[in-house]
Every structure is written in structure tokens, then in C-alpha cells.
Amino acid sequence: MVILHDPSCTRYHAPGHPERPQRVAATVELLRKRHPDWVWQQPGPAGEEALLRAHPPAHLERLTRGPDFDADTAFLPEIAAHARLAAGAALAAMDLALDRGGKAFSLMRPPGHHATRNRAMGFCYLNHIAIAALAARARGVERVAVWDFDAHHGNGTEAILQGKPGILFAIVHEEFSYPGTGTAHTANCRNWALPPLSPRADHLAALNASWDSIRAFQPGLVLVSAGFDAYAGDPLTDMYLETEDFRTLGNWVRESGIPSAAILEGGYSDHLPELIDGFLCGWNGAT
Ligand SMILES: [Zn+2]
């Protein structure tokens, strides 16, 4: 397992914001302690060419100045650099999956799946997973699948990947939760919207169906928007997944044998490190 991480991603915060540095800092500590054999790599920032596949120049420029993008998504002087580094980590994870058939996880912030082509929103500034998916297509991968199990709908990813040839986007999320989108299937974006407080078994069944759609697509690469806020103890959502369920999701990815990379999206409970570890252990095949 390769973990893409740059400690600088913990060096910004907006006071009182749930997307806080400790999410990643505590996960680093736990993974280093439990898995001394895992390889840590420091990513570089994403290049202009890769960013411009998903975002226009005007959006990249907007990230460099205020005012705040919305009430949840602050402008910070260094935020563009942080977002570019997280996008670079997603690209590096994708490259590792394709070049070495390895398993690579980007443990960075900010997250990305709410960022649309033109708009930073929902704690997200650049859409790292869409940037990586489009880069994989540019590398010549015929079919790229993106799987998003964050409790919130990946509206930005959907908006950017909508109608893109050779790409399937499958997402399971909490209906009516932020940002309120994702209630219908479209040509290449498949949504499973679950009502708040859905039973855990229903949620797992939807995840299973979404994963089946990915396998049926027979992708040469799976990119996972790994968000952990569908956890029963998450303060921002009303869903009931348990730690072992994230391990199950990791098991599915491993058992498919498809080259895969994953990046951290949401997840706001104090148990986030354990949830990430569960997913990674399932994916890695550790017992
Ligand atoms: Zn989320």
C-alpha cells in the first residue's frame, strides 16, 4: 500500500470548521503505527494541463483571491496551493495504480468531489477525482470508473464527468443531504440516493448494486472517492454504516483485481482514522 501524503495539508484551517486538520493528522499517526511496512510518498502539485481538463482558467484564477466561495468554503491565501497539491496526489495515486498495479491512497485535504468546473463549494476547491479520471483517459485507458461512497452527492464530479466518453460514475449517497442533487441516473452517471436514516442493510445493498455496475463496465481503472461520513457516528449525516462496512468496501475493490486508486473525500467523526484503516486493510488484504 502506498499512501500519498504531504504534511503541509494539515497546516490550514478555518476556525470551527468540521473539515479540520486533525482528520488527516490523526489518520497519519494511526496508519504509521499500525502499518510500518506501508510506503509513504510525497506528491507534487498537479500541472496546468491536468487541471485544465476539468476546470477553466477563470476558476483557477478565482481560487487565488477572495471573497469566500460560500459559507462552508472559505477563501484562504494558500488554498489554491493546497488544492493543487491534493489534485497532484490524486494524479500520483492514479499513475501508481496504472504503472505498477499498486494500491495507492491519497491522504490529503481539502477534499474535492463537490467542486464543479466553475465553482468551489462544500469544502472543495478542485475536483481531484475528476482531474485524475480525465488524466487516465488522456493516458489511453479505454474505460475509467469512478466510485463515490461519500454520504454526500458528488455533484461536482457528476457535472464534470457527465457525458464524457469512456467514463462511468457510480455514487451512493444520502438523499436530501448537501448539496441536494443526484436523484436520477443519467447516461454515464448512476445515482443511488438513499433516504436519511436508511437501514444499514439497505445502504449496503445499494453499495453492492453500485459496485456491480462498476464491474459490469469492465474498467481498466477504478478511482474511488472515499468519503467516510456515511458512518453511523458521523456528525454531519444520518446514515448507519459501521467500521466493518468500510472494510467490506475495500474487500470488494481488492477482489475485483482491477487497478485502483482512492482518495479521501469527507468523514468528520473522531473515528475517521479507524474507518480509513478499515477500508485500506480490506483493500490491501490485511487481516
Ligand atoms: Zn461528505
In angstroms, what is the span from residue 153 Cα to ligand 1's centroid?
Answer: 7
- Per residue in 139-175, pLDDT (tens digit) is 999 999 999 999 999 999 999 999 999 999 999 999 9
Q: For all residues of the chain together, what is the average pLDDT?
A: 97
Find the mean pLDDT for residues 47-64.
98
In angstroms, the CA 249 to CA 245 distance is 6
- Of 5, 59, 82, 114, the catalytic one is 114
**pLDDT given for residue 102 in this prediction:** 81
Residue 286 has pLDDT above 70, yes or no: no
- What is the torsion angle, in degrees rounded to the nearest 10, for the CA atoms of residue 273, residue 145, residue 180 and residue 23? 10
Q: What angle do the packed helices 272-284 and 21-34 form, to 10 degrees?
A: 50
In angstroms, what is the span from residue 178 Cα to ligand 1's centroid?
Answer: 8
Buried b (16+ CB within 10 A) or exposed e, 88-110: bbbbbbbbbbbeeebbbbbbbbb
| Domain interval for residue 112 | 2-284
Provide the H-helix boundaries in the chain: 21-34, 48-52, 57-62, 79-100, 128-138, 155-161, 200-217, 243-256, 272-284
In angstroms, what is the span from residue 128 Cα to ligand 1's centroid?
Answer: 14
Residue 287 has pLDDT above 80, yes or no: no
In angstroms, what is the span from residue 140 Cα to ligand 1's centroid?
Answer: 30
In angstroms, what is the span from residue 109 Cα to ligand 1's centroid?
Answer: 13
In angstroms, what is the span from residue 225 Cα to ligand 1's centroid?
Answer: 10
State yes or no: is 114 an active-site residue: yes
* Nearest alpha carbon to residue 81 among 43, 117, 54, 53: 43
Of the candidate ranges 100-104, 185-189, 246-250, the one whose mean pLDDT is the lowest: 100-104
* Nearest alpha carbon to residue 54 among 133, 163, 109, 141: 133
Query: What's the structural domain count of the chain?
Result: 1
The alpha carbon of 112 is separated from its chain's Cα centroid by a whole number of angstroms, namely 7
Find the mean pLDDT for residues 215-231.
98
In angstroms, what is the span from residue 124 Cα to ligand 1's centroid?
Answer: 10
- Per residue in 226-255, pLDDT (tens digit) is 999 999 999 999 999 999 999 999 999 999
Sign, CA torsion 177/183/186/192: positive
Task: Give Rg (Cα) of the chain.
Answer: 17
Residue 42 has pLDDT above 90, yes or no: yes
Residue 287, C-alpha cell as written in the block: 487481516
The alpha carbon of 241 is separated from its chain's Cα centroid by a whole number of angstroms, namely 17
**Per-residue confidence at 217, pLDDT binned at 50, 70, 90?**
very high
In angstroms, what is the span from residue 266 Cα to ligand 1's centroid?
Answer: 4
Residues in CB range of 133: below 8 A, 6 or more apart: 144, 146, 161, 164, 167, 223
Percentage of the chain with pLDDT > 70?
99
In angstroms, what is the span from residue 96 Cα to ligand 1's centroid?
Answer: 25
**Per-residue confidence at 15, pLDDT binned at 50, 70, 90?**
confident
**Per-residue confidence at 53, pLDDT binned at 50, 70, 90?**
very high
Query: For residue 60, which amino acid is it?
Result: L
In angstroms, what is the span from residue 229 Cα to ligand 1's centroid?
Answer: 5
**DSSP string of 43-70, one letter each residue:** PPPPPHHHHHTTS-HHHHHHTTS-S-SB
CATH number at residue 255: 3.40.800.20
Residue 22, C-alpha cell as written in the block: 486533525
- Per residue in 250-279, pLDDT (tens digit) is 999 999 999 999 999 999 999 999 999 999
Strands 39-41 and 103-106 turn out to be unpaired
Find the mean pLDDT for residues 43-53.
98
Find the mean pLDDT for residues 84-104.
95
Omega before 18 cis (within 30°)? no
